[in-house]
Amino acid sequence: MILTVTLNTALDITYRVPALRPDASHRVTEVTERPGGKGVNVARVLAALGHEVTVTGFTGGLTGRLLRERLTGIPGLTDALLPVSGTTRRTTAVVDERSGTTTQLNEPGPVVSPAEWHAFQEVYEDLLKGVSAVALCGSLPPGVPVGAYAGLIRTARAAKVPVLLDTSGAPLRRGIAGRPDIVKPNAEELAELTGSHEPLTATQDARRRGAGAVVASLGPQGLLAVTPQGRWRAAPPARLRGNPTGAGDSLVAGLLSGLVTNLPWPDRLVRAVALSAATVMAPVAGEFDRRAYEELLGRVVITGEVSAA
């Protein structure tokens, strides 16, 4: 069982419009809704790969009810979300059909009370008892202390559960001090954390700040991993065309899947890149193309060196 934590779950709405023009009125031609928030997305990919996965975090209001309804019926996925008095946020992606660009509008999320945050930490500690890895994903809703992830990481470490952190800004900066086993920043998050725009320098710096391993996602360039076992670059065999929505979440799912099946680091990275690339190539945003994934597994380009023991 893998556990994913999404403190700020979301109902992800996608609107297609012929062309988005500020200050104009638009008739939306297509509306799709799916349960979201990074940890929920990671869980859905893990479940599709055949893993048993539990999602926890907060959900509330009618939006939260809609989200939970959409989670039921996903084989292998267990809903352990906690109800809160506020309402789960909506995130709206407005896809401009002419240009192919996406404009994102994200609500801030419900205010979580101190009592709700306290209750979550108890549930989380219980859930850790039966899991082989935990991923802490995404932004913090209002009311949750900025150092929340550092605390959750320490609890996981005390329970001897390997922990992956995927967040940004202050929650990443504070969380990394809790010594997570893996962090997965993208280039922008890494630069914000370390002040360096040079990926290798920044990745090494992030590791010094407390992470066991740093896997930096560099968009079309694939990823750069600096780990206790060595450092590697892994990239898809060719430039991809498609929608990058959810590619980072699939990358996290690949890393977790490789971790719980005890793959060596290079194989974990190949799995992560193949899943991420297959997500970009899928027709539906955030899903992955299974045939592309299986084919890409043999074609990911990996280079690197193993550390001296």
Q: Which residues are catalytic?
A: 249
Site string for its own copies, 1-40 (x = CB under 8 A): --------------x-x--xxxxxxxxxx-x---------
Does 85 participate in binding its own copies (rule CB under 8 A)?
no
- What residues between 102 and 161 interact with its own copies by CB under 8 A? 102-108
Structure tokens at 222: 């694939």
Enumerate the β-bridge partners of residue 82: 58
Q: Rank residues 59 and 92 by Cβ distance to its own copies and give the closer one.
A: 92
| Strand residues in 89-239 grouped as ranges (E) | 89-96, 102-106, 133-137, 163-166, 182-183, 213-217, 223-227, 230-235
Residue 191 found at the interface with its own copies (CB under 8 A) = no
Q: Which is nearer to its own copies, 66 or 80 (CB)?
A: 66
- Lookup result for tokens 């990481």: 153
Please give the size of the binding site for its own copies, defined by CB under 8 A.
28
Query: Quick one: 10 or 253, whose CB is closer to its own copies?
Result: 10
**Nearest Cα to 214, choosing from 242, 246, 240, 187?**
187
> Would you give the DSSP letter of residue 106?
E
Cβ proximity to its own copies: between 110 and 222 the closer is 110
Which C-beta is closer to its own copies: that of 155 or that of 168?
Answer: 168
What span, in angstroms and rounded, lies between the C-alpha atoms of 58 and 103? 26
246/70 Cα distance (integer angstroms):
17
- x/- letters, 53..82, toward its own copies (CB under 8 A): ---------x--xx----------------
Of the candidates 94, 86, 92, 95, the one whose C-alpha atom is nearest the C-alpha of residue 107 is 92
Please state the closest distance from residue 63 (CB atom) to its own copies, in A.
Answer: 8
Name which position in 1, 74, 80, 94 contacts its own copies (CB under 8 A).
94
> Which residue, 25 or 262, is less far from its own copies as judged by CB?
25
Please tell me the distance from the alpha carbon of residue 141 to that of residue 128, in angstroms, as a whole number. Answer: 22
Interactions with its own copies, residue window 276-295 (CB under 8 A):
none
Least distance CB 181 / its own copies (angstroms): 28
CA distances from 209 to 56, 103, 106, 205, 271 (A): 27, 33, 30, 6, 26
**What is the per-residue DSSP string for 197-234?**
-SHHHHHHHHHHTT-SEEEEE-GGG-EEEEETTEEEEE
Among 6, 41, 54, 92, binds its own copies (CB under 8 A): 92
Q: Which of 14, 16, 64, 15 shows the shortest CA–CA distance to 40?
A: 64
Tokens of 55: 């999602």
Q: Which residues bind its own copies (CB under 8 A)?
A: 15, 17, 20-29, 31, 62, 65-66, 92, 94, 96, 99, 101-108
